[in-house]
Amino acid sequence: MTGTTEENTGEAVSRPRKSSWRYIGPGIVVAATGVGAGDLVATLIAGSKFGYTLLWAAVIGCVVKIALAEAAGRWHLATGRTLFDGWRSLGSWTTGYFVVYVVIWGFVYGAAAMSSSALPLDALFPGTMDLKWWAVLCGLVGLAFVWFNQYAVFEKVMTVLVGVMFVVTVYLAIRVTPNLGDAFAGLAPVLPDGSLIYTLGLIGGVGGTITLAAYGYWVNAKGWTDTGWMKVMRLDNRVAYITTGIFVVSMLFVGAELLHSSGIALAKGDKGLLDLSGILADRYGTATSKLFLVGFFATSFTSLIGVWHGVSLMFADFVSNYRKRGASTTGEEVASGSREKSLPFRAYLLWLTFPPIALLFLDQPFGLVIVYGVIGAFFMPFLALTLVWLLNSSRTPAEWRNGILSNVMLAGAGLLFVVLCVQQVRELPW
Protein backbone atom coordinates (compact mmCIF):
# COMPACT_ATOMS: atom_id res chain seq x y z
CA MET A 1 0.00 0.00 0.00
CA THR A 2 2.96 2.29 -0.25
CA GLY A 3 3.98 4.20 -3.34
CA THR A 4 1.25 4.06 -5.92
CA THR A 5 -1.47 2.22 -3.99
CA GLU A 6 -4.69 4.20 -3.63
CA GLU A 7 -7.68 4.09 -1.32
CA ASN A 8 -11.28 5.05 -2.11
CA THR A 9 -10.29 8.70 -2.34
CA GLY A 10 -7.83 8.04 -5.16
CA GLU A 11 -4.99 9.71 -3.26
CA ALA A 12 -1.59 8.08 -2.84
CA VAL A 13 -1.37 6.44 0.56
CA SER A 14 2.29 7.37 1.07
CA ARG A 15 1.47 11.09 1.09
CA PRO A 16 0.86 12.52 4.61
CA ARG A 17 -2.86 12.86 5.21
CA LYS A 18 -4.62 15.60 7.07
CA SER A 19 -6.63 14.51 10.09
CA SER A 20 -10.16 14.05 8.83
CA TRP A 21 -13.35 12.64 10.34
CA ARG A 22 -14.14 10.85 7.07
CA TYR A 23 -11.33 8.37 7.74
CA ILE A 24 -12.45 7.40 11.25
CA GLY A 25 -13.00 3.66 11.69
CA PRO A 26 -10.54 1.48 13.62
CA GLY A 27 -10.98 3.69 16.67
CA ILE A 28 -14.72 3.07 16.71
CA VAL A 29 -14.02 -0.66 16.46
CA VAL A 30 -11.53 -0.69 19.36
CA ALA A 31 -13.82 1.47 21.52
CA ALA A 32 -16.78 -0.85 20.95
CA THR A 33 -14.77 -4.03 21.51
CA GLY A 34 -12.93 -2.79 24.58
CA VAL A 35 -16.01 -1.76 26.56
CA GLY A 36 -17.95 -4.83 27.58
CA ALA A 37 -20.90 -5.39 29.88
CA GLY A 38 -18.59 -6.20 32.80
CA ASP A 39 -16.87 -2.83 32.40
CA LEU A 40 -20.19 -1.01 32.55
CA VAL A 41 -21.17 -2.92 35.70
CA ALA A 42 -17.86 -2.03 37.35
CA THR A 43 -18.48 1.62 36.52
CA LEU A 44 -22.05 1.49 37.81
CA ILE A 45 -20.89 -0.08 41.08
CA ALA A 46 -18.21 2.58 41.51
CA GLY A 47 -20.87 5.27 40.96
CA SER A 48 -23.30 3.56 43.35
CA LYS A 49 -20.70 3.36 46.14
CA PHE A 50 -18.91 6.69 45.75
CA GLY A 51 -21.19 8.90 43.66
CA TYR A 52 -19.25 11.23 41.37
CA THR A 53 -16.10 11.14 43.50
CA LEU A 54 -14.16 8.80 41.19
CA LEU A 55 -15.02 10.56 37.94
CA TRP A 56 -11.42 11.72 37.68
CA ALA A 57 -10.24 8.08 37.64
CA ALA A 58 -12.48 7.27 34.67
CA VAL A 59 -11.03 10.23 32.76
CA ILE A 60 -7.44 9.21 33.55
CA GLY A 61 -8.28 5.67 32.44
CA CYS A 62 -9.28 6.94 29.01
CA VAL A 63 -6.06 8.97 28.71
CA VAL A 64 -4.01 5.86 29.60
CA LYS A 65 -5.77 3.84 26.88
CA ILE A 66 -5.19 6.63 24.34
CA ALA A 67 -1.46 6.36 25.06
CA LEU A 68 -1.42 2.56 24.76
CA ALA A 69 -3.46 2.34 21.56
CA GLU A 70 -1.49 5.22 19.99
CA ALA A 71 1.74 3.38 20.73
CA ALA A 72 0.44 0.17 19.13
CA GLY A 73 -0.79 2.04 16.05
CA ARG A 74 2.45 4.05 15.82
CA TRP A 75 4.53 0.87 15.82
CA HIS A 76 2.54 -0.57 12.89
CA LEU A 77 2.74 2.64 10.83
CA ALA A 78 6.31 3.70 11.68
CA THR A 79 7.95 0.32 11.11
CA GLY A 80 5.61 -1.25 8.56
CA ARG A 81 5.76 -4.36 10.77
CA THR A 82 3.06 -5.95 12.87
CA LEU A 83 3.08 -5.87 16.66
CA PHE A 84 3.61 -9.61 16.90
CA ASP A 85 6.65 -9.23 14.64
CA GLY A 86 7.96 -6.68 17.13
CA TRP A 87 7.28 -8.97 20.08
CA ARG A 88 9.11 -11.80 18.37
CA SER A 89 12.18 -9.58 18.02
CA LEU A 90 12.32 -9.31 21.82
CA GLY A 91 12.86 -13.04 22.26
CA SER A 92 11.09 -16.38 22.08
CA TRP A 93 9.54 -15.86 25.54
CA THR A 94 7.04 -13.42 24.00
CA THR A 95 5.87 -16.04 21.52
CA GLY A 96 5.44 -18.62 24.29
CA TYR A 97 3.45 -16.23 26.42
CA PHE A 98 1.20 -15.14 23.56
CA VAL A 99 0.38 -18.71 22.51
CA VAL A 100 -0.52 -19.82 26.05
CA TYR A 101 -2.53 -16.64 26.54
CA VAL A 102 -4.65 -16.77 23.38
CA VAL A 103 -5.36 -20.50 23.69
CA ILE A 104 -6.58 -20.45 27.31
CA TRP A 105 -7.97 -16.92 27.28
CA GLY A 106 -9.89 -17.54 24.05
CA PHE A 107 -11.44 -20.72 25.43
CA VAL A 108 -12.85 -19.05 28.55
CA TYR A 109 -13.56 -15.65 26.97
CA GLY A 110 -15.62 -17.26 24.22
CA ALA A 111 -18.05 -18.70 26.77
CA ALA A 112 -18.17 -15.43 28.73
CA ALA A 113 -18.84 -13.32 25.62
CA MET A 114 -21.62 -15.59 24.42
CA SER A 115 -23.27 -15.62 27.86
CA SER A 116 -23.04 -11.83 28.14
CA SER A 117 -24.70 -11.36 24.74
CA ALA A 118 -27.41 -13.89 25.65
CA LEU A 119 -28.50 -12.22 28.91
CA PRO A 120 -30.24 -9.16 27.37
CA LEU A 121 -31.83 -11.29 24.62
CA ASP A 122 -33.26 -13.65 27.24
CA ALA A 123 -34.67 -10.65 29.12
CA LEU A 124 -36.09 -9.05 25.96
CA PHE A 125 -37.72 -12.29 24.79
CA PRO A 126 -38.53 -14.20 28.00
CA GLY A 127 -39.54 -17.81 27.64
CA THR A 128 -38.41 -18.09 24.02
CA MET A 129 -35.51 -20.44 24.72
CA ASP A 130 -33.06 -21.36 27.45
CA LEU A 131 -30.27 -18.84 28.21
CA LYS A 132 -27.58 -21.32 27.12
CA TRP A 133 -29.19 -21.69 23.69
CA TRP A 134 -29.34 -17.90 23.31
CA ALA A 135 -25.60 -17.95 24.07
CA VAL A 136 -24.99 -20.64 21.44
CA LEU A 137 -26.98 -18.62 18.90
CA CYS A 138 -24.91 -15.48 19.62
CA GLY A 139 -21.68 -17.42 19.19
CA LEU A 140 -22.76 -18.96 15.90
CA VAL A 141 -24.03 -15.64 14.52
CA GLY A 142 -20.73 -14.00 15.48
CA LEU A 143 -18.81 -16.82 13.84
CA ALA A 144 -20.79 -16.61 10.60
CA PHE A 145 -20.56 -12.82 10.45
CA VAL A 146 -16.77 -12.67 10.87
CA TRP A 147 -16.21 -15.76 8.68
CA PHE A 148 -18.03 -14.36 5.64
CA ASN A 149 -17.19 -10.65 5.91
CA GLN A 150 -13.92 -8.73 5.73
CA TYR A 151 -12.88 -5.61 7.59
CA ALA A 152 -14.92 -3.01 5.64
CA VAL A 153 -18.28 -4.64 6.43
CA PHE A 154 -17.18 -5.49 9.97
CA GLU A 155 -16.34 -1.82 10.62
CA LYS A 156 -19.71 -0.60 9.30
CA VAL A 157 -21.68 -2.99 11.52
CA MET A 158 -19.56 -2.07 14.54
CA THR A 159 -20.22 1.61 13.84
CA VAL A 160 -23.99 1.03 13.82
CA LEU A 161 -23.82 -0.88 17.11
CA VAL A 162 -21.66 1.83 18.67
CA GLY A 163 -24.32 4.34 17.62
CA VAL A 164 -26.90 2.26 19.53
CA MET A 165 -24.61 2.11 22.58
CA PHE A 166 -24.01 5.85 22.41
CA VAL A 167 -27.70 6.78 22.15
CA VAL A 168 -28.71 4.47 25.00
CA THR A 169 -25.97 5.43 27.48
CA VAL A 170 -26.27 9.17 26.84
CA TYR A 171 -30.09 8.97 27.05
CA LEU A 172 -29.85 7.22 30.43
CA ALA A 173 -27.33 9.76 31.71
CA ILE A 174 -29.67 12.60 30.75
CA ARG A 175 -32.74 10.77 32.09
CA VAL A 176 -31.33 10.42 35.61
CA THR A 177 -30.68 14.21 35.65
CA PRO A 178 -27.03 14.34 36.78
CA ASN A 179 -25.88 16.93 39.29
CA LEU A 180 -23.33 18.77 37.16
CA GLY A 181 -21.85 20.60 40.11
CA ASP A 182 -21.03 17.34 41.87
CA ALA A 183 -19.80 15.89 38.58
CA PHE A 184 -17.29 18.73 38.07
CA ALA A 185 -16.21 18.34 41.68
CA GLY A 186 -15.53 14.67 40.90
CA LEU A 187 -12.75 15.71 38.51
CA ALA A 188 -10.58 16.57 41.53
CA PRO A 189 -8.45 13.54 42.49
CA VAL A 190 -9.84 12.28 45.79
CA LEU A 191 -9.62 8.79 47.32
CA PRO A 192 -12.48 8.08 49.72
CA ASP A 193 -11.98 5.30 52.29
CA GLY A 194 -12.23 1.88 50.68
CA SER A 195 -12.07 3.23 47.14
CA LEU A 196 -8.54 2.26 46.08
CA ILE A 197 -9.46 -0.96 44.28
CA TYR A 198 -12.42 0.69 42.53
CA THR A 199 -10.16 3.58 41.50
CA LEU A 200 -7.51 1.29 40.06
CA GLY A 201 -10.21 -0.69 38.28
CA LEU A 202 -11.69 2.44 36.68
CA ILE A 203 -8.27 3.60 35.50
CA GLY A 204 -7.06 0.24 34.28
CA GLY A 205 -10.09 -1.88 33.55
CA VAL A 206 -12.51 -0.09 31.26
CA GLY A 207 -11.60 -0.63 27.62
CA GLY A 208 -8.33 -2.31 28.58
CA THR A 209 -8.02 -5.76 26.99
CA ILE A 210 -6.07 -7.55 24.26
CA THR A 211 -8.11 -5.43 21.83
CA LEU A 212 -5.73 -2.56 22.55
CA ALA A 213 -3.04 -4.69 20.92
CA ALA A 214 -5.43 -5.48 18.06
CA TYR A 215 -5.81 -1.77 17.27
CA GLY A 216 -2.69 -1.72 15.08
CA TYR A 217 -4.04 -4.66 13.09
CA TRP A 218 -7.33 -2.87 12.48
CA VAL A 219 -5.36 0.21 11.41
CA ASN A 220 -3.61 -1.94 8.81
CA ALA A 221 -6.84 -3.71 7.80
CA LYS A 222 -8.30 -0.26 7.08
CA GLY A 223 -5.50 0.24 4.54
CA TRP A 224 -3.27 2.48 6.66
CA THR A 225 0.21 1.00 6.38
CA ASP A 226 2.77 3.81 6.51
CA THR A 227 3.62 7.07 8.28
CA GLY A 228 1.49 9.09 5.89
CA TRP A 229 -1.46 7.94 7.99
CA MET A 230 0.04 8.87 11.37
CA LYS A 231 -2.05 12.02 11.95
CA VAL A 232 -5.19 10.25 10.85
CA MET A 233 -4.47 7.34 13.21
CA ARG A 234 -3.95 9.69 16.13
CA LEU A 235 -7.25 11.48 15.51
CA ASP A 236 -8.98 8.11 15.11
CA ASN A 237 -7.48 6.90 18.39
CA ARG A 238 -8.56 10.02 20.29
CA VAL A 239 -12.09 9.62 18.95
CA ALA A 240 -12.03 6.00 20.19
CA TYR A 241 -11.30 6.85 23.76
CA ILE A 242 -13.37 10.01 23.92
CA THR A 243 -16.24 7.71 22.87
CA THR A 244 -15.21 5.24 25.57
CA GLY A 245 -15.07 8.12 28.05
CA ILE A 246 -18.63 9.14 27.19
CA PHE A 247 -19.84 5.56 27.80
CA VAL A 248 -18.02 5.37 31.13
CA VAL A 249 -19.02 8.81 32.39
CA SER A 250 -22.64 8.20 31.38
CA MET A 251 -22.80 4.96 33.35
CA LEU A 252 -21.05 6.57 36.32
CA PHE A 253 -23.78 9.24 36.26
CA VAL A 254 -26.43 6.52 36.28
CA GLY A 255 -24.72 4.77 39.18
CA ALA A 256 -24.33 8.00 41.12
CA GLU A 257 -27.87 9.30 40.62
CA LEU A 258 -29.98 6.15 40.38
CA LEU A 259 -28.16 3.83 42.78
CA HIS A 260 -25.97 5.88 45.15
CA SER A 261 -28.75 8.08 46.51
CA SER A 262 -31.08 5.12 47.16
CA GLY A 263 -28.41 2.71 48.40
CA ILE A 264 -29.28 0.05 45.79
CA ALA A 265 -26.61 -2.63 45.24
CA LEU A 266 -26.06 -4.42 41.94
CA ALA A 267 -24.84 -7.97 41.45
CA LYS A 268 -21.26 -8.21 40.23
CA GLY A 269 -20.64 -9.29 36.65
CA ASP A 270 -22.92 -9.01 33.66
CA LYS A 271 -26.03 -9.93 35.65
CA GLY A 272 -25.73 -6.57 37.39
CA LEU A 273 -27.04 -5.00 34.19
CA LEU A 274 -30.19 -7.12 34.46
CA ASP A 275 -30.62 -5.72 37.99
CA LEU A 276 -30.35 -2.23 36.53
CA SER A 277 -32.93 -3.09 33.88
CA GLY A 278 -35.43 -3.93 36.62
CA ILE A 279 -34.67 -0.71 38.49
CA LEU A 280 -35.13 1.33 35.29
CA ALA A 281 -38.47 -0.38 34.64
CA ASP A 282 -39.69 0.51 38.14
CA ARG A 283 -38.46 4.11 37.95
CA TYR A 284 -38.97 5.12 34.30
CA GLY A 285 -41.20 2.47 32.74
CA THR A 286 -40.88 -0.58 30.49
CA ALA A 287 -39.86 1.36 27.37
CA THR A 288 -36.72 2.75 29.04
CA SER A 289 -35.89 -0.70 30.43
CA LYS A 290 -36.25 -2.30 26.98
CA LEU A 291 -34.13 0.40 25.38
CA PHE A 292 -31.45 -0.25 27.97
CA LEU A 293 -31.51 -3.99 27.21
CA VAL A 294 -30.98 -3.19 23.51
CA GLY A 295 -27.95 -1.10 24.50
CA PHE A 296 -26.77 -3.93 26.78
CA PHE A 297 -26.92 -6.34 23.83
CA ALA A 298 -25.05 -3.90 21.54
CA THR A 299 -22.34 -3.52 24.20
CA SER A 300 -21.91 -7.27 24.63
CA PHE A 301 -22.17 -8.28 20.99
CA THR A 302 -19.66 -5.68 19.78
CA SER A 303 -17.17 -7.13 22.25
CA LEU A 304 -17.90 -10.61 20.93
CA ILE A 305 -17.48 -9.93 17.21
CA GLY A 306 -14.61 -7.50 17.89
CA VAL A 307 -12.60 -10.20 19.65
CA TRP A 308 -13.65 -12.82 17.07
CA HIS A 309 -12.14 -10.58 14.36
CA GLY A 310 -9.23 -8.76 16.05
CA VAL A 311 -7.69 -11.59 18.06
CA SER A 312 -8.11 -13.98 15.12
CA LEU A 313 -6.08 -11.51 13.04
CA MET A 314 -3.38 -11.55 15.72
CA PHE A 315 -3.38 -15.34 15.84
CA ALA A 316 -3.08 -15.50 12.03
CA ASP A 317 -0.09 -13.15 12.31
CA PHE A 318 1.50 -15.42 14.92
CA VAL A 319 1.18 -18.40 12.57
CA SER A 320 2.58 -16.37 9.66
CA ASN A 321 5.58 -15.37 11.78
CA TYR A 322 6.17 -18.95 12.81
CA ARG A 323 6.08 -20.17 9.21
CA LYS A 324 8.47 -17.48 7.99
CA ARG A 325 10.99 -18.35 10.73
CA GLY A 326 12.64 -14.96 11.00
CA ALA A 327 11.30 -12.98 8.05
CA SER A 328 9.24 -9.93 9.03
CA THR A 329 5.49 -9.79 8.57
CA THR A 330 4.23 -6.47 7.31
CA GLY A 331 1.17 -4.29 7.69
CA GLU A 332 0.59 -4.58 3.95
CA GLU A 333 -0.07 -8.29 4.36
CA VAL A 334 -2.83 -7.46 6.86
CA ALA A 335 -4.17 -4.69 4.58
CA SER A 336 -4.47 -7.10 1.64
CA GLY A 337 -7.34 -8.89 3.40
CA SER A 338 -5.83 -12.32 2.76
CA ARG A 339 -5.39 -12.95 6.50
CA GLU A 340 -9.15 -12.83 7.06
CA LYS A 341 -9.61 -15.73 4.64
CA SER A 342 -6.63 -17.73 5.89
CA LEU A 343 -6.78 -21.10 7.62
CA PRO A 344 -5.21 -19.84 10.92
CA PHE A 345 -7.72 -16.95 11.13
CA ARG A 346 -10.64 -19.31 10.66
CA ALA A 347 -9.15 -21.98 12.91
CA TYR A 348 -8.96 -19.50 15.79
CA LEU A 349 -12.52 -18.35 15.02
CA LEU A 350 -13.64 -21.96 15.47
CA TRP A 351 -11.61 -22.20 18.69
CA LEU A 352 -13.36 -19.10 20.07
CA THR A 353 -16.76 -20.60 19.25
CA PHE A 354 -17.11 -24.38 19.57
CA PRO A 355 -15.01 -25.42 22.61
CA PRO A 356 -16.56 -22.55 24.63
CA ILE A 357 -20.04 -23.77 23.63
CA ALA A 358 -19.19 -27.02 25.43
CA LEU A 359 -18.04 -24.97 28.42
CA LEU A 360 -21.43 -23.24 28.54
CA PHE A 361 -23.05 -26.52 29.53
CA LEU A 362 -20.52 -27.29 32.28
CA ASP A 363 -19.39 -25.53 35.41
CA GLN A 364 -16.07 -23.86 34.62
CA PRO A 365 -13.29 -26.14 35.89
CA PHE A 366 -11.70 -24.62 38.98
CA GLY A 367 -8.14 -24.89 37.70
CA LEU A 368 -9.06 -23.34 34.35
CA VAL A 369 -10.58 -20.31 36.07
CA ILE A 370 -7.36 -19.76 38.03
CA VAL A 371 -5.06 -20.13 35.00
CA TYR A 372 -7.32 -17.83 32.94
CA GLY A 373 -7.27 -15.19 35.68
CA VAL A 374 -3.51 -15.31 36.10
CA ILE A 375 -2.49 -15.06 32.43
CA GLY A 376 -5.23 -12.52 31.75
CA ALA A 377 -3.97 -10.30 34.55
CA PHE A 378 -0.45 -10.38 33.13
CA PHE A 379 -1.40 -9.33 29.59
CA MET A 380 -1.82 -5.58 30.10
CA PRO A 381 1.55 -5.14 31.90
CA PHE A 382 3.08 -7.24 29.09
CA LEU A 383 1.57 -4.95 26.44
CA ALA A 384 2.52 -1.67 28.12
CA LEU A 385 6.10 -2.61 28.97
CA THR A 386 6.91 -4.29 25.64
CA LEU A 387 5.66 -1.18 23.83
CA VAL A 388 8.05 0.93 25.95
CA TRP A 389 10.85 -1.43 24.94
CA LEU A 390 10.02 -1.51 21.24
CA LEU A 391 9.40 2.22 20.84
CA ASN A 392 12.62 3.28 22.55
CA SER A 393 14.85 0.93 20.56
CA SER A 394 16.49 0.96 17.15
CA ARG A 395 13.63 -1.24 15.92
CA THR A 396 11.64 2.00 15.54
CA PRO A 397 12.81 4.80 13.21
CA ALA A 398 14.24 7.66 15.31
CA GLU A 399 11.56 10.13 14.23
CA TRP A 400 8.79 7.94 15.65
CA ARG A 401 10.34 6.75 18.89
CA ASN A 402 8.77 7.67 22.21
CA GLY A 403 9.09 11.17 23.54
CA ILE A 404 9.12 12.02 27.24
CA LEU A 405 5.33 12.20 27.48
CA SER A 406 4.81 8.84 25.77
CA ASN A 407 7.39 7.18 27.99
CA VAL A 408 5.81 8.62 31.14
CA MET A 409 2.33 7.51 30.05
CA LEU A 410 3.37 4.00 28.99
CA ALA A 411 5.63 3.41 31.99
CA GLY A 412 2.89 4.69 34.29
CA ALA A 413 0.39 2.41 32.58
CA GLY A 414 2.78 -0.52 32.97
CA LEU A 415 3.19 0.10 36.71
CA LEU A 416 -0.58 0.55 37.13
CA PHE A 417 -1.27 -2.73 35.37
CA VAL A 418 1.34 -4.52 37.48
CA VAL A 419 -0.49 -3.35 40.63
CA LEU A 420 -3.83 -4.42 39.14
CA CYS A 421 -2.28 -7.75 38.13
CA VAL A 422 -1.11 -8.44 41.69
CA GLN A 423 -4.52 -7.47 43.07
CA GLN A 424 -6.37 -9.63 40.55
CA VAL A 425 -4.16 -12.65 41.29
CA ARG A 426 -4.74 -12.16 45.04
CA GLU A 427 -8.52 -12.14 44.50
CA LEU A 428 -8.56 -15.41 42.54
CA PRO A 429 -10.34 -18.37 44.21
CA TRP A 430 -7.15 -20.24 45.04
Q: pLDDT by residue (tens digit) across 291-301? A: 999 999 999 99
Within 8 A by CB and 6+ apart from 122, the residues are 128, 131, 134
Q: Is the pLDDT of residue 5 over 60?
A: no
Q: If 0-12 CB within 10 Å is exposed, 13-18 middle and 19+ buried, where does residue 367 land?
A: exposed
125: number of Cβ within 10 Å: 11
Confidence of residue 132 (pLDDT cuts 50, 70, 90): very high
Q: How many whole angstroms separate alpha carbon 341 and alpha carbon 357?
A: 23
The string of pLDDT tens digits covering residues 100-126 is 889 988 988 898 889 889 999 999 999
The string of pLDDT tens digits covering residues 344-374 is 999 999 999 999 998 888 766 556 556 666 6
Q: Is the pLDDT of residue 242 over 50?
A: yes
Give the type of residue at 403: G
